[in-house]
Structure 1
Amino acid sequence: MRNNFVMATHNSYAFGNAIAANQHYNISTQLKDGVRVFLLAVLKNPDPTKSDIELCHTSCELLDAGTAADTLQNIATFLQNNPNDIITIFWRNYFSNLTAADIKTASDKADQRRPIYMLNHFLYTEVKSGPLDIDLPTRVTANLTNSASLQKHAQNCTTIFKQFPNFITVDFYDQGSPNLNPFSIVANYNGVQYTPTTYGNGVLPNDIATSNSAKIDLQTSLFTAFVSLLIVFIFAVVEL
């Protein structure tokens, strides 16, 4: 892994036409397209009667993609059918509401003499909704973000760190130009010939970011998320 340049999908689970989605297609489709590195963000289920760990984007009220267990089972099934493949998962916990007992991590066992580094390359747009400011994935320019801009970023990092990034993390991995996209850039750095391919099923989810209903849904989601976080904060203060 140290000598390879591998693409990862940012918030891999957050897909579709949701306002906070980072990808167009689900993890099953990403696996079919050749993605092997996934970034997953987890939160405790907001329902206090449930113990599930959810895959959520910032807040489960904003985007909840279901349980982490379901996604891991999906990946496990893929590996059973493709035993020679290797899957890498990076975990993130928003607001640190999980303890070490909730998620086992091997980071403290890693060989620190062989560090790896990740290049994050994605564009967000700030949206205001009442008193809240939130950064949302910029879907409409992903074809530009994931082409020459990504290549230049990778070249700059290689010059600075004197080695290729081990991972590049992108939103909307299927976007870019036919001959300059996340897959072709990775192939070029790895010295592998790239063959232009159609990713996903060729049909993009409807972009709801500009619709009136989306703006209403966003305001409702943000307000709900804000109230939920406020309740959690008050509860934490009371406990202290």
Structure 2
Amino acid sequence: MLFSVAWLVGLAAAQSSQSIVSGSTVRVTTGADATPTLSLSDFEASTFNTGSMSLLSASTGAPNATASRTSSSVDPLTVIVGGSRTPSASGNMTASTTAAQPTNTQPCNNYPEFCTRKYSNITEVCAHNSPFVRKNNAGSNQAYGVTQQLNDGIRMLQGQIHEVNGTLYYCHTSCDLLNAGTVESYLAEVVSWVENHPFDVITIIFGNADYERKDANGNPLVTSKNFVSPITDSGLLQYIYQPPKTAMTLEDWPTLGELIVRGKRVITFIDYNFDTDAVPYLLWEFYNIWETPYSPTDIQFPCTIGRPEGLNQNKSQSMMYMANHNLNVEVSIAGSSLLIPNNVALNVTNGLNGTGSLGLMTNTCISDWGRPPNFLLVDYYNAGPFNGSVFEVAARANNVTYDRKCCGTASFAVELLRPSTTYLALIVGVAAALLL
């Protein structure tokens, strides 16, 4: 017998009387003969990294149940809901007392605990220069493509963008060094993954590497407007969440559960030349996120404000922040200076302990700011002292248990760790050849 659940979700704050209806219907196969309708209500706010739950299971059964939008046979459905509210005589929603709810088993971004946490209250791993995957290329930053990155647990994607003849490309430093293809084609692959993972929320930061270029009239050549076409044509637009404000505080962000139920599971930012009047869903990163020093060569990885410059302490306390933890080495070639990933140090850089480790930097940030970074930006996320070490660091910051398998099927980044001096010579040689 088919079991139909209408998602009627009140997504306002606990003190609000507003009720919003979602049109989604989820159908799963169960052994029940009845087809009840559940009215779901307001999500409860959670405090930093408490993992407090307020979720309802639509049926009993095995854990790790998953939902399906078709009538095919699946495990019992777990529905994401919040605090219980019932209508008063006037029709407004008022709080009521109900029996204890079952424990949720549906992961949001891989953890059931995240479903009721605010988007701003979770530490996720970011793939630095996500599109740049090319063996033996000085401009490469990752070993696997974006689909594998997302499968492994990456939930923030960042990349450098250049304009060529009116089209946006993901290119590292220049399109002659490493051209990973058009922004549209990359986003189309992301959309395919998003469509097949309805309980995951991802973030995309577009790095505008052409922010200083001007058109014939002296205006910025690349702004938010240039991203409308690849975002729309790739199919991404329908999944993008547009916040009520262009500058969101920590408390303003919704929970992952709210984003999932709304179907708005992608958050997009641009670092330079933003235009939220023309493209309101493409947020200016530095209204919402500050970063520690980027392109770091210092193994101490200080947890200080790098961008935006001049941000005051009070404002920074109300914003999300990203820890840039991609260690670089500077090489000089033909009089030019080039920063390339320090791959020979990845076992330490992406590790849990020791000077220069991601774990130590995260702990330093917690000590300095009273909360962990929201995003941990890394090169070759799959490399480290053990598989998934960067995700273990994030899990500890989130106070959850990391029990997933990582990463991919093979890692050329790890292979290149072995003859370290040979690898560095190879990279320098490739860089030199590409710059000639």
**Are the counterparts in 1 of residues 127 and 157 from structure 2 also a CA contact under 8 Å?**
yes
2: CA distance between counterparts of 1:156 and 1:2? 19
3-state SS in 2 of match to 1:53: strand
Residues 65-76 of structure 1: pairs in structure 2 closer than 5 A: 65-76=180-191
Per-residue CA deviation, residues 78-114 of structure 1 (Å, 9 max, x unaligned), is: 1111122111101111141413321359799433433
Residues 158-177 of structure 1: pairs in structure 2 closer than 5 A: 158-177=366-385
Aligned partner (choices 355, 365, 371) of residue 157 of structure 1:
365
**Are the counterparts in 2 of residues 10 and 170 from structure 1 also a CA contact under 8 Å?**
yes
**Are the counterparts in 2 of residues 143 and 176 from structure 1 also a CA contact under 8 Å?**
yes
**Are the counterparts in 2 of residues 7 and 170 from structure 1 also a CA contact under 8 Å?**
yes
- How far the C-alpha of 1:42 sits from its partner, in A, is 0.7
3-state SS in 1 of match to 2:412: coil
2: CA distance between counterparts of 1:73 and 1:28? 11
- Structure having greater relative contact order (Cα 8 Å, sep ≥ 6): 1
Report what 1:41 is aligned to. 160
Mark the runs of 5 or more structure 1 residues left unpaired by the alignment. 224-240
- Kindly indicate whether residue 24 of structure 2 is the aligned counterpart of residue 24 of structure 1: no
Aligned residues with identical type, % of pairs: 28
Aligned partner (choices 110, 120, 133) of residue 2 of structure 1:
120
2: CA distance between counterparts of 1:216 and 1:141? 19
Report what 1:100 is aligned to. 224
Q: TM-score, normalised by structure 1?
A: 0.82
Change (3 A) 1:5 1:26: same
Change (3 A) 1:193 1:140: same
Change (3 A) 1:117 1:130: same
**Are the counterparts in 2 of residues 137 and 171 from structure 1 also a CA contact under 8 Å?**
yes
Report what 1:195 is aligned to. 403
Change (3 A) 1:196 1:126: same
Report what 2:324 is aligned to. 120
**Are the counterparts in 1 of residues 143 and 411 from structure 2 also a CA contact under 8 Å?**
no
Change (3 A) 1:172 1:128: same
1: CA distance between counterparts of 2:188 and 2:387? 34
- How far the C-alpha of 1:215 sits from its partner, in A, is 4.4
1: CA distance between counterparts of 2:139 and 2:167? 22
1: CA distance between counterparts of 2:429 and 2:358? 33
- How far the C-alpha of 1:67 sits from its partner, in A, is 0.5
1: CA distance between counterparts of 2:428 and 2:360? 34
2: CA distance between counterparts of 1:12 and 1:23? 6
2: CA distance between counterparts of 1:4 and 1:209? 36
Moved more, 70-79 or 197-206: 197-206
Root mean square deviation of aligned Cα? 2.4
Report what 2:10 is aligned to. none
**Are the counterparts in 2 of residues 57 and 63 from structure 1 also a CA contact under 8 Å?**
yes
**Are the counterparts in 1 of residues 388 and 406 from structure 2 also a CA contact under 8 Å?**
no
- Kindly indicate whether residue 407 of structure 2 is the aligned counterpart of residue 220 of structure 1: no
| Larger relative helix fraction | 1
**Are the counterparts in 2 of residues 178 and 196 from structure 1 also a CA contact under 8 Å?**
no
Change (3 A) 1:66 1:144: same
Change (3 A) 1:141 1:216: closer
2: CA distance between counterparts of 1:163 and 1:109? 23
Query: Counterpart amino acid of 1:125?
Result: V
2: CA distance between counterparts of 1:72 and 1:196? 26
Report what 1:227 is aligned to. none
Report what 1:134 is aligned to. 338
Report what 2:12 is aligned to. none
- How far the C-alpha of 1:201 sits from its partner, in A, is 0.9
Mark the runs of 5 or more structure 2 residues left unpaired by the alignment. 1-118, 214-221, 232-241, 251-318, 417-421
